[in-house]
Amino acid sequence: MEKMSRVTTALSSNAISGRTMFCHLDAPANAISVCRDATQVVVAGRNIFKIYALEEEQFVEKLNLRVGRKPSLNFSCADVMWHQMEENLLATAATNGAVVTWNLGKPSRNKQEQLFTEHKRTVNKVCFHPTEVYMLLSGSQDGFMKCFDLRKKESVSTFSVIQISRNTPLFSYIPDDLFHTLFLGQSESVRDVQFSMKDYFTFAASFENGNVQLWDIRRPDRYERMFTAHTGPVFCCDWHPDDRGWLATGGRDKMVKVWDMTTNRAKEIYCVQTIASVARVKWRPERKYHLATCSMMVDHNIYVWDIRRPFIPFATFEEHKDVTTGIVWRHQHDPHFLLSGSKDSTLYQHMFKDATRPVDKANPEGLCFGLFGDLAFAAKESLISSDISRKPYPGGDRRYPIFFFKKPDPTEQFAHVSSALSVFETDLDSNRMDWFVKTAQLYLLSGKPFAELCDHNAKVAKELKRPQVSTTWTMLRIMFSDPANLTAPGTNHNLSKLGTLPLMNSFNMKEMGTGMGTESRLERSKGESRQDNIHLEPGNLHISNNNEENEETEGSEGQAEYMFGDAELDDDDLYSMEHDNQTEEQEYTLPQEAFQLRHEIVDNPSAPEHLQQDKADSPHVSGNEAEVTCLTPIESFSLISISQPLFSPHLPASFFCPIVREMLSYYAEQGDVQMAISVLIVLGDRIRKEIDDLTQEHWYMSYIDLLQRFELWNVSNEVIKLSTCSAITCLNQTSTTLHINCSNCKRPMSNKGWICDRCHQCASVCAVCHHVVKGLFVWCQGCSHGGHLEHIMNWLKSSPHCPAGCGHLCEYT
Amino acid sequence: MKALVSRGSVDAVFQQMASHPQYLESFLRAQHYILHMDGPLPLPYRHYIAIMAAARHHCHYLVYLHSAHFLRVGGDPLWLQGLEAAPPRLRLLAHINKVLAHQPWLTACSHIQTLLKSGEQCWSLAELVQAVVILAHCHALCSFVYGCDADSDFVPRTKTPNGTPPTFCPFDAANGNTNVPQSLATPSEHKTRRRVTKPLNCIFFAITTHQSHVLTRPFLFLDMEEEEEIICFADPSGFITDPDFCYEEFARSEEDHFQVFRVQDYSWEDHGFSLVNRLYSDIGHLLDDRFRSVSTLPSLHSSDLKRAIWNYIHCVLGIRYDDYDYGEVNQLLERDLKLYIKAVACFPDATKTPVCPLSWALLKTSERIHVNLLIMEARLQAELLYALRAITQYMIA
């Protein structure tokens, strides 16, 4: 360590060392520059102008160049540069337009050497010639670049953005002042000037209007070459330290571009898109493809890019809290140290090894859905084990498509990730949305009593093999039907297929009918069934009615029974049991509990008697065992007689609302917004208030959107019509205006009424009845006569000729 | 465009601007974008904000114009009764409106923070930027309207409180809609006005448009037919809070409290543009276009004079250029011209008439308008710089 630091102080160029460190400045920095041997750095800003020594562990303030009680604006620096040949020489660009040089070798406190006040506006940039000691270039807001010979008091040449030759006869008589006013006052500001590293006479200048110019220092009359590099100002440019033809530019348009200047026309060879306007760009020493950038606004980080990888920074330094204003590589042959100054009044030395590598955090997996449901998935090859079942892609070996194959470049330091791309083809059947379309078409949302709607929809769902949805519908009917209405002429439909829900069955005894495919389950329940002596005729309306009666009577009686029953505790138990079941029902499981329940109920001494009596009383119950499914009712019956009384008197429909709300959210979350909306509409006021309007609106919008994608216009319109959200109902009133032209004179029909303003004729008259057609108008494409749809239909049934009498043989298909 | 202007079919203010057609084009494009095109704020909000901004300077003309627009885009007529009737979100803007209009240097990070503070009525950053752009635009336009008022050949109807509101969208003309009949030259012929006085500080006008000529329709009332359009015009004072707040000298003694704004540290080109464009896409280019075109207008004024005017306005608003010798202002601008510029830039109050400088009479109309345009744009930029700097500070903090 000791040795190392000695080496450092011994100014050996290859052995600088240090660590990531920072120091607080007193004021925001505008620019920094480093001396040739990389031991000192100068920081300049509006209120700061200091030199710091770079020590092993810290920055040490060496010199404050800002002297005097009330420093003049000459000290307010926009830019600073340390001469790379002469270690005592610095130049600053002042915001008031002065260009100042400083000689550190001066014995006095004020190190100011020369002051050039030739620029009228802020000087944005100063630049020493890399090899010529006395040559200094400046670029200013006033549109001029001036070249100074430091041995003289004035600039030696002036380069102007606008090229108007004073020798043109037209301009020759104009006095100098006026000429400047007329043409140069509106010239474009110079944002950056940079001497070429390799070509002795060349320098590049970038401008506020997006142009970059190349100049020969010996020819101030016109530029060698000009091209538009960016839209908007080009804030910075930098010559490649090794490759003479490369120039990097950065602009307000958030781009960094690398230009090849060796060809006739400047050619853009690389382009990096950053996230904010680019304030500075600096090539990284010893790394051909790397450059560092910082931004002028919003983004405070410093990025180092590999220009061949323009999408993700190679390294990031995230230390600054405000925009970074100056970046410089500490030594021109050492790529590991980066210095930066910022508006947050700090000066940093960044070690490259401490940089964040965004590529490590980047997600190397990609996932994308294809148009027809195919799924493409790319992941690191190491992650995807050699899966034998993969079949080669029809398009050849897709693991190495020819155009992705890239020879690994040893200079490129990006970790090479080779990914395997898998394409999963969808099983067409499993992913088809047929069910959605069919459901949408077949569901009934209104126009019938509530219970019927539920039954219908449950049936639809069942036929589409969606048992869960079907069950939900049935449950809803049970929950929300008024007990008095339970008998609503139930369409015979069968739930028992979902034998997992015995309780449900028990409620729906009137529906039991044609239980297909339930036999096995029934067989089982048969064995357990205790009351098998009573059979119902399935699908019998009488029975339904009868059941209703039964239920009602049971309702009252049952309650009474319990009231008088000796076991009040039992009663409670039953209640809690019912509750449990109720919630579990939501999850569609558990036959066991339900059976257990039944047993418990049955164990209640009073219940069976009661039941039996009831059943015996009901006149329509038949002993006919002919039906295969007749056993279901029995079991159900036994249940309903008990559970019904437990429920209906005590649990109003609103009791279920929270559960139903949860269920709707569940469906919506699952992506089945169709179910959520259908239930919402069918339940109507029963549930609407439970769900906040925004959610409802969101569901409606999603569902309507889906319907429209499947071109189910009618259904979507019905849904819109049935919705209660004002935002939705107004949907089908948009763009409902129909502009018509008069059929006679072809002019637009201007306003209400069916008589054309212009020709005072009725528009669109029916050829049959000679009245105005105000609805569907059908016309023959051959003779263009037409009229009311019905009239034309009827007419053409009886006559093949056009009703208008034009003789055309119209056809109605 | 020119043809339209010569026929008098464009609003008087735009007529004035039309003596500089290149500028007018960029102005209209920017205004149209701000008020009618994509943006985070709903259309009625935009016009309401414009009303609030114009009310700050008692600019009846703009208040009427935007009230009409406000109703046309479906704004709630109740809001026009005053700020109390407007949603609280808009009321929150009153403070920044006040500050920006009169003492923009007071704009602080804390104002932005208050508006963006999360809560029921909070603004999003993008919305706020659009609101600020509308405010600054309208404040500056007030200056222009006020400056133009002094013109002897200016039609006084923009000043009188019961003047005919301009009822068409000038951008139609810019779109090349040349199908304009001669009869439009006197649009008031087609209207009869009935006056209904309301108890609130609101005056309602019912404007019945009898439009027998079909051709006028596409231009005047795009979709309103022979119906009565009731437009509510409110007294501007209803839209502002703290009406006594007005411009004060940006005194040097106060420099301790309010740091002088240095353009070299926060300029439109480097900083303002990037920020505003980031938060409200494309507006940066449109505003840039305005600033550029006003500074490159061909005119007899020397570029030094233009720069002196520009910098002088920024100076009275507390913005300084390091690279400018303010002695030049005194050399180039006579005292009465300075007074005029300051009055127009800082006290654009439509209830008064600006005192014209003596040399004014010698200038051509277009030159006078040019000065007014410079004032407008300089003021716009100054307000934007202050507001955007505050937003930047907020984003860093």
CB contact under 8 A, B270 and A276: no
CA distance A97 to chain B (A): 6
Whole-number pLDDT of residue B216: 32
Is B22 part of the contact surface with chain A (CB cutoff 8 Å)? no
Note the pTM of the prediction, 2 decimals.
0.61
Chain B CB contacts of A119 under 8 Å are 323
**C-alpha to C-alpha distance for A302 and A274, rounded to whole angstroms:** 11
**C-alpha to C-alpha distance for B354 and B360, rounded to whole angstroms:** 12
- When pLDDT is cut at 50, 70 and 90, the band that residue B318 belongs to is confident
Whole-number pLDDT of residue A430: 58
Structure-model confidence comparison of residues A199 and B243, the more confident one = A199
**C-alpha to C-alpha distance for A393 and A378, rounded to whole angstroms:** 14
Is B261 part of the contact surface with chain A (CB cutoff 8 Å)? no
Domain definitions of chain A by residue range: 363-383+415-430, 434-481+653-736, 740-812
Nearest to A121 among B262, B323, B395 (CB): B323
Sign of the dihedral through C-alpha A605, A611, A617, A621: negative
* DSSP state, residue A261: -
Chain A residue whose CA is closest to B296:
A186
CB contact under 8 A, B274 and A276: yes
Residues of A in CB contact (< 8 Å) with B are 46, 73, 76, 78, 94-97, 119-122, 141, 181, 185-186, 189, 208, 232-233, 235, 252, 276-277, 296-298, 321-322, 750-751
SS (HEC) of A19-50:
CCEEEECCCCCCEEEECCCCCEEEEECCCCEE
Is B396 part of the contact surface with chain A (CB cutoff 8 Å)? yes
Q: In chain A, which residues have pLDDT < 70?
A: 1-16, 161-187, 382-417, 426-432, 482-653, 735-738, 742-744, 746, 749-754, 757-758, 760-761, 763, 813
Beta strands in A261-345 (DSSP E): 267-273, 278-283, 290-295, 302-306, 315-317, 324-331, 334-342
CA distance B236 to chain A (A): 33
**C-alpha to C-alpha distance for B133 and B314, rounded to whole angstroms:** 18
Look up residue A453 and give its two tokens: 């709607």
* DSSP state, residue B272: I
CA distance A321 to chain B (A): 7
Q: Please compute the mean of the pLDDT values over residues B150-176 and round it to a whole number.
A: 37
CB contact under 8 A, B278 and A233: no
* DSSP state, residue A795: H
CB contact under 8 A, A186 and B275: no
Phi, psi of A270 (to 5 degrees): -140, 150
**C-alpha to C-alpha distance for A632 and A502, rounded to whole angstroms:** 10
Chain B CB contacts of A120 under 8 Å are 323
Look up residue A568 and give its two tokens: 């009040």
CA distance A106 to chain B (A): 28
| Structure ipTM | 0.75
Nearest to B214 among A73, A322, A750 (CB): A750
Nearest to A122 among B264, B296, B303 (CB): B264
CB contact under 8 A, A73 and B322: yes
pLDDT per residue over B338-396, tens digit each? Answer: 888 888 888 877 566 667 776 777 777 788 888 889 999 999 999 999 999 999 988 88
**C-alpha to C-alpha distance for A485 and A547, rounded to whole angstroms:** 12
pLDDT per residue over A563-588, tens digit each? Answer: 443 444 444 444 444 444 444 444 44
Beta carbons within 10 angstroms of residue A157's beta carbon: 16
Nearest to B396 among A95, A96, A322 (CB): A322
Beta strands in chain B (DSSP E): 191-197, 202-209, 228-234, 261-262, 319-320
Q: Please compute the mean of the pLDDT values over residues B188-207 and round it to a whole number.
A: 33
> How big is the A-B interface in CB pairs under 8 Å?
66
CATH 3.30.40 is held by the domain A740-812: yes
Question: By C-alpha distance, which of A525, A493, A666 is closest to A587?
Answer: A666
CB contact under 8 A, B264 and A322: no
Name the B residues in 291-330 with CB < 8 Å from any A CB: 295-296, 302-304, 307, 322-323
**C-alpha to C-alpha distance for A287 and A413, rounded to whole angstroms:** 10
Q: Does the structure show a pLDDT above 90 at B177?
A: no
- When pLDDT is cut at 50, 70 and 90, the band that residue B330 belongs to is confident
Q: At what angle do helices A657-670 and A568-587 cross, to 10 degrees?
A: 20
**Catalytic site residues of B?**
59
Whole-number pLDDT of residue B11: 67
